[in-house]
Chain A
Amino acid sequence: MATKKIELVVSPPAPHMVGDGFRVHNFIPGGYHLDMERMSPFIMMDYNSKHYFSPTTQARGVGVHPHRGFETVTLAYQGKIAHHDSAGNSGVIAQGDVQWMTAASGILHKEYHEEEFSKAGGDFQMVQLWVNLPAKYKMTPPKYQGIANADINKVTLPNNAGIVEVIAGEYHGTKGSASTFTPVHMQNAKLNEGGKVKFSFPANYNTVILVIEGEVKVNNEETVGTDKLVLFENEGEDFSIEATEDAIVLVLSGEPIDEPIAAHGPFVMNTQQEIIQAFNDVNMGKFGYLE
């Protein structure tokens, strides 16, 4: 097996606000060489690097908006997020939890800082990903997988190196807690200083890591600091991450979905006609209703 070499190390782009609750760096698709086609099935990545929100009685967040054609995955590293949707689901994700929402044929939802967190204020850090769906699943019914940290399968690494949380896919025989429509690996490597972990994914899978905390050395050569993203080449399978200080690294690798992408705002479909249809359907109430 050959080494998967680093193609790019990307610093976080300038942040912008999504609503008034999420201060995010858009790595995908806005980042250099990180467009949707290159990164498929990961077609969007907003990273809210650690940011202090002051106490408020008016919960910050994003108001009602639709999605169609893909899945949204929210990983909370610090802080708590509450959500509601037009299918009647609601819940809270707290530190370490993951919410995997399959928007598919369409959903309206809103996301806010959870009430108690808002009142107390505090550090907020999260990642939101959009994972594309192949054409045959784009118009299937929406669904939720709320995955509490306690329910995420974990692999303890040898030599007190740390743990790997297997959110999706597989790590050394341990399966991910989330079900996916196409092969997707999504894992958190939580490493102790000096701890080392090796990953192996097929060469053609699009693969990135994001350093959430600390500093790491990738493939024994490149030192990568907090908030930086590493894109790997589509050659070779194996790479290593060594923590030069206590670190948390989000590892993503997925099989590209080889289909045309038509994306506009909150919709990601295969054709422009389907995008127009999505706007019509939202306007006509076909995504339901949410205050």
Chain B
Amino acid sequence: MLENFKNFLQTNTDITDVQFEQIGMGLKCEKVEKGKLLLKENQVCTHSFFVETGLLRAYTLDENGKEHIIQFAPEKWIISDRSSAYFDAPSQLYIDVIEDAEIIYLEKDFVSKISEISPSFRMENERLLHNHIRHLQTRINLLISASAEKRYMHFIELYPDLLLRVPLWMIASYLGITPESLSRVRKELARRNFKPNSK
């Protein structure tokens, strides 16, 4: 366990194996089963979840009870409701487990704590934050301006293996399109790209 977390921390920092051992000692890890709700709307939750293995998602429910998926978090992703995790405000999101997972609970002060051990993590965290904001920027733009196909193309680039891991209605929900439009997009791509017997 913790191989992915170690890899995540060491990728753009100079955190050594010994320092990682030190970081690892204070961590709370848990195995969670598919279907488990980790966070509910209006709860206050002071931590984020790092996905060591498995798959989580964040979603909202509208007044008709319909789910709208905000984010998927496969291996090596962090997922949280930031208003709750960083501002002690009631959560706007639900977070649940869609594939059996091993998760690490990251406390609000995890950045400071890791940075105390290795200052290089502060720079990396800043890069990760900007990367996250960049993705949100792209996502807003796609949701207000792009065709279903363009949204799908961005999705498969960001999440190359999720098409085989989650039901299509969830992908449609994430893309903000109907399952029927997602089928049309995929059928159209197959029409253009499927060349039987000549692959």
Contacts and interface: CB of A to CB of B under 8 A. Distances in A.
Interface string A131-153: 00000000101000000000000
A291 B186 CA distance: 10
B185 to A, nearest CB: 9
Given A106-B199, A139-B199, A283-B156, A289 B194 contact: yes
Interface in A231-277: 264-266, 276
A282 interface: yes
Nearest to B152: A283
A283 B191 contact: no
Contact of A265 (B156, B161, B189, B197): B161
A116 to B, nearest CB: 27
B65 interface: no
Contacts of B196: 87, 141, 288
Interface in B40-92: none
B187 interface: yes
B161 A286 contact: no
Given A285-B193, A285-B194, A289-B194, A66 B186 contact: no
A20 to B, nearest CB: 13
B193 A284 contact: yes
B1 interface: no
Contact of B164 (A266, A286, A288): A266
B160 A280 contact: yes
B183, B186, B191, B199 pick with most chain A CB within 10 angstroms: B199
Contacts of B195: 286
Interface in B160-199: 160-161, 163-164, 183, 186-199
B165 to A, nearest CB: 8
A285 B186 contact: yes
Which of the listed residues A141, A282, A284, A287 has the most CB atoms from chain B within 10 Å of its own CB?
A284
Classify the interface of chain A: helix, strand, loop or mixed.
Answer: loop
A289 B160 contact: no
B163 A288 contact: no
Nearest to A63: B167
A63 to B, nearest CB: 8
Interface residues of B, number: 20
A91 B68 CA distance: 38
Interface residues of A, number: 24
A280 B188 CA distance: 16
A282 B186 contact: no
A65 B160 CA distance: 15
Interface of B is mostly: helix
A283 B163 contact: yes
Given A105-B199, A276-B160, A286 B183 contact: no
B163 A282 contact: yes
A251 to B, nearest CB: 33
A285 B191 contact: yes
A22 B195 CA distance: 32
A44 B195 CA distance: 28
B150 to A, nearest CB: 14
Contacts of B163: 279, 282-283
Given A283-B156, A286-B199, A265 B192 contact: no
Contacts of A289: 186-187, 190-191, 194
Nearest to B189: A285
B102 to A, nearest CB: 18
A105 B197 CA distance: 8
Contacts of B197: 141
A285 B193 CA distance: 6
Contacts of B192: 285
Contacts of B188: 285
A86 B197 CA distance: 12
B190 A282 contact: no
A173 B103 CA distance: 57
Interface of A: 65-66, 86-87, 105-106, 139, 141, 264-266, 276, 279-289, 291
11 contacts: A141-B197, A265-B161, A276-B160, A280-B160, A285-B187, A285-B188, A285-B191, A286-B190, A289-B186, A289-B190, A291-B183
Closest 10 CB pairs of A and B: A285-B190, A285-B189, A289-B190, A283-B156, A141-B197, A105-B199, A288-B194, A285-B193, A279-B160, A286-B193
Given A283-B163, A285-B190, A289-B186, 9 more contacts: A65-B164, A141-B198, A141-B199, A266-B164, A276-B160, A285-B192, A285-B193, A289-B190, A289-B191
